[in-house]
Amino acid sequence: MAVVARQELRDLWLAGRGFLLAFAFSVLLSAITYLAATNEALNFLERRESVNLALQVAVAVGALLALLVAADAISGERERGTLESLLLTPMARASLISGKLLAALSLWVGAMAIAVPYVWFLGHQVGAAGEAILIGLVAGTLLAIALTAFGMVVSTLARSNRISLSVSLFVLLALFAPTQLPTGAQQGWAGELLLRVNPVTATLRYIGKVVVDQHAWTRDLSWLLSPLLGAVVLTALAVAVAPRFITLRGGALG
């Protein structure tokens, strides 16, 4: 696993793709931060909301980047014709998946590292920066692990890379969709259940409660149940079950 992870990290970051993605991500955060900072009309509460916005963008985009890399992990090797030579080695398939999973997660780690100065800048004078960064790291990491493992499972089963990326993106968009529901629809037991069961909305809601509403971080821990379960279950699927389905052709999906 370590050998695979090391090579995958080299291919991702030293071949240049990782830094390009990081650059694009930083441009996005720069735009948000600059607009928030120079808007004198923003009141005190909206400063915390600016911190929350930057953090949620970091979590969402960081997890998205990790998901996309994972979605390419096995199906991409298959399409590029490089999978067979990997399967011919005595390395366990679970090690192959684990190594690629770790490399994909490095994009999440990179995204959070880039987000730290932005969040600190927006939040340090309203006393929100330190807690926001910590909460974003903990909650966001659970979500990133869940999504990355999901992408890996899809990549293993997909017949083609196009299918793998399409399915992964579609599911991610579907998970983000409830955040756009009107406030009224998000209330009530059904609305709250939907938000809690969905690891994306649950994570973002938890972050908002701590950063904006200034709840103690222990008060709303139940919101992290679905991202935690997602991380555990999907990682187990990716590492323990999916390896049996790594074939030259793929095809359970598509």
Contact footprint for other proteins (CB under 8 A): 3-4, 7, 10-11, 13-16, 19-20, 22-23, 26-27, 29-31, 33-34, 36-38, 40-41, 43-47, 80-82, 84-92, 114, 117-118, 121-122, 125-126, 248
- Round to whole Å and give the CA distance between 9 and 218: 35
| Least distance from other proteins to the Cβ atom of residue 210, Å | 16
Pick the closer one to other proteins by CB: 1 or 229: 1
Minimum gap (Å) between residue 173 Cβ and other proteins: 26
CB of 110 to other proteins, least distance (A): 9
CA 180, 184, 187: angle at the middle one, nearest 5? 95
Q: Is 198 left (phi over 0), alpha (psi -120 to 50) or beta?
A: beta
Residue 247: left (phi > 0), alpha (psi -120 to 50), or beta?
Answer: beta
Cβ-based nearer residue to other proteins, 4 or 64: 4
CB closer to other proteins out of 92 and 236: 92
Q: Measured from the CB of residue 203, what is the shortest distance to other proteins in angstroms?
A: 22
Alpha-carbon 195 to chain mean position: 17
CA distances from 112 to 94, 108, 122, 181, 216 (A): 27, 6, 15, 27, 22
Q: Which is nearer to other proteins, 89 or 222 (CB)?
A: 89
* Largest Cα span, the chain: 62
Residue 66 per-residue DSSP state: H
**Rounded (10°) angle between helices 44-80 and 199-211:** 150
Alpha helix ranges (H) inside the chain: 2-9, 17-38, 44-80, 83-87, 93-123, 129-157, 161-176, 183-186, 188-197, 199-211, 225-236
Nearer to other proteins, 99 or 230 (CB): 99
Q: Which is nearer to other proteins, 9 or 169 (CB)?
A: 9
State the minimum distance, in angstroms, from the CB of residue 170 to other proteins. 27
- Give me the least distance between CB of 2 and other proteins, in Å please: 9
